[in-house]
Chains A and B, each alone.
Chain A
Amino acid sequence: MRKVQCVIIGGGSAGLAAAVELKKNGIDDLLILEKGPEPGGILNQCIHNGFGLHEFKEELSGPAYAERFADQAKELGIPIECNTTVTAFYPDKTIEVSNSSGYEIIQAEAVVLAMGCQERTAGQIQIPGMRPQGVYTAGTAQRYVNIDGYSIGKRVFILGSGDIGLIMARRMTLEGAKVLGIAELMPYSNGLQRNIVQCLKDYGIPLYLSHTVTNIEGFPRLNKVTITEVDANRRPIPGTEKVFEVDTLLLSVGLVPDNTLTVEAGIQLDPRTRGVEVNEYCESPMPGVFAAGNVLHVHDLVDYVTAEGRKAGRGAAKYLKGELKERGGFPTKAGNGVGYVLPQRVDYPKEDPTVEFSFRVRTPYKNAKIVVRDGDTVLKEIKKPALLPAEMEKVILPNNVLANIRNELTIEVKEAE
């Protein structure tokens, strides 16, 4: 059995950042396992620009962003095994690995989970109707178009206004397809505002808010989708149907952390994030197992994934050096209007000068304030002109505040007076 001090499962943006940080913190015995043919993960098919504004103060394409971190890992001599899939992960931190040279069991002392996420599918959201060819998740379509160079459809409708859906609306248009519209179940878009402008408005693509797809027709190839307006309870309103003759339906209906391995290892998931619960070093309840990036919670910016990967890498290095010992801190709580708060626990409140908390609001707010409380004691208030569920918010608290928290740290949203 091969022994490796720290195995990083996934060579995308989170895994690369974690590995680089581990190395910089003195851990040399590292191994990144990447199922794809090269490091970079899903970034390799995200050819649009907008990556790296925080990291590099410039707007790179996804592949260019990935390349910078892959080059950095290479310069530091971090081993990456590509075309290599982890098939099992056990609580004793043994990992079964398959690639074309063999099937191997690796014993790790610490593990960083960086497997990314999966797209929700037509089956998961249970769209009624036929199951013809021509219905793709937006990410699969993106791979077909951007990596493989296939044309997949000429008349396109899109369900879900998440960023991948918006990006693909523009991409398909530029490749000569006619995008007839995007339907969004919620009364607001889940994509970034800039993408609504530069992907939809620029090309005159209509966005149907509070609408969903209620029928799929055609066989063996899609020829029609019906969309229907929904009421406040997201139930279709009869009589509001609109029919579009299309050969392609793209689904951009959400991403789910890919935690199959995690669950098999017996680590419970937080039902809100569908990732593991972590402390401020991205450490799961299973000591020595860390998680970062979209496997932990779905991000909207890769720069934040990178930052989280570093945090996990630094945590794993501390763990391996025996610096994370006595846990004793406080839990965090998503208060009014907040979907979830990460980390779910602070275990070492005195260890670092500051701890950063990430969260998402449940619904859009205008002129609101973020309130951070310890029980009833307000620790911090931040005014915000606008808050959107699509955009992750962050609050940073210093350790002199954290050291004195007695109950639980609650983050909530209030309408500003």
Chain B
Amino acid sequence: MELTCIVCPRGCTISYDVVNGEAVNITGNSCPRGKVYCETEIKAPTRMLTSTVPVIGGHYHQLPVITSAPIPKEKIFDVMDAIHSTSVTAPVKVGDVIIADVAGTGIDILASRSMN
């Protein structure tokens, strides 16, 4: 079987077999992260998620945010619900925690830029 690695923009085509729900015989990846991606993708796929939250007193209306680590793919819309019910007040520093342990994933939502 084949999949496209999404770890980096290179987008390697990775070949693999599935044995007992796990990816084996992984080839085609250009870096070790590709192998990890393939294994995770078969077992329990995860994604980085980015969005925005309204910011009060900032020089734009919206503050971009990012997950601190990849979240389980099936949790994406739960996390979006949490993001949609959040707003912040400027100033904010890049990396500030905006939502801790979002939707029970153990992962935080961080500011992905500073805003004064």
Contact = CB atoms under 8 A, between A and B. Distances in A.
A192 B66 contact: no
Contacts of B29: none
Interface string A28-53: 00000000011000001001111001
Interface string A46-70: 0111100100000111111011000
Contact of B80 (A147, A174, A193): A174
B94 A47 contact: no
A401 interface: no
Interface residues of B, number: 30
A59 B73 CA distance: 18
Contacts of A148: 60-62
A198 B62 contact: no
Contact of B6 (A62, A66, A67, A194): A194
B59 A147 contact: no
A392 to B, nearest CB: 10
Nearest to B112: A61
Given A59-B48, A61-B66, A64-B113, A194 B8 contact: yes
A78 interface: no
Nearest to A194: B6
A171 to B, nearest CB: 8
B6 A149 contact: no
A48 to B, nearest CB: 5
A214 interface: no
Contacts, number: 84
B62 A146 contact: yes
Most chain A CB within 10 A, of B48, B60, B77, B80, is at B60
Contacts of B11: 192-194, 197
A202 B61 contact: no
A67 B94 contact: yes
A130 interface: no
A301 interface: yes
Interface string B1-26: 00111111101010000000000000
A110 interface: no
A87 to B, nearest CB: 24
Nearest to A148: B61
Interface in B54-80: 54, 59-62, 64, 66, 73, 76-77, 80
A49 B66 contact: yes
B6 A198 contact: yes
Interface in A199-214: 202
A192 B48 CA distance: 17
Contact of B4 (A66, A146, A197): A197
A47 B54 contact: no
Interface string A381-417: 0000010000100000000000000000000000000
A146 B6 contact: no
A178 to B, nearest CB: 13
A174 B84 CA distance: 10
A147 B55 CA distance: 10
A192 B62 contact: no
Contacts of B9: 50, 53, 192, 194, 300-301, 391
A193 B30 CA distance: 15
A216 interface: no
Contacts of B59: 37-38
B5 A174 contact: no
A303 to B, nearest CB: 9
B105 interface: no
Given A174-B51, A196-B4, A61 B64 contact: yes
A70 B60 CA distance: 17
Contact of A48 (B50, B62, B114): B50
Interface in A319-356: none
Given A38-B59, A196-B4, A202-B73, A47 B50 contact: yes
B4 A67 contact: no
A147 B48 contact: no
A209 B105 CA distance: 37
A63 B95 CA distance: 12
B76 A147 contact: no
A145 B77 CA distance: 18
A146 B64 contact: yes
Contact of A47 (B4, B76, B80, B112): B112
B47 A198 contact: yes
Interface of B: 3-9, 11, 13, 47-52, 54, 59-62, 64, 66, 73, 76-77, 80, 94, 112-114
8 contacts: A48-B50, A61-B66, A67-B114, A148-B61, A174-B77, A194-B7, A194-B11, A197-B4
Given A60-B112, A61-B66, 10 more contacts: A48-B50, A53-B8, A63-B112, A64-B94, A149-B54, A174-B76, A193-B4, A194-B4, A194-B11, A202-B73
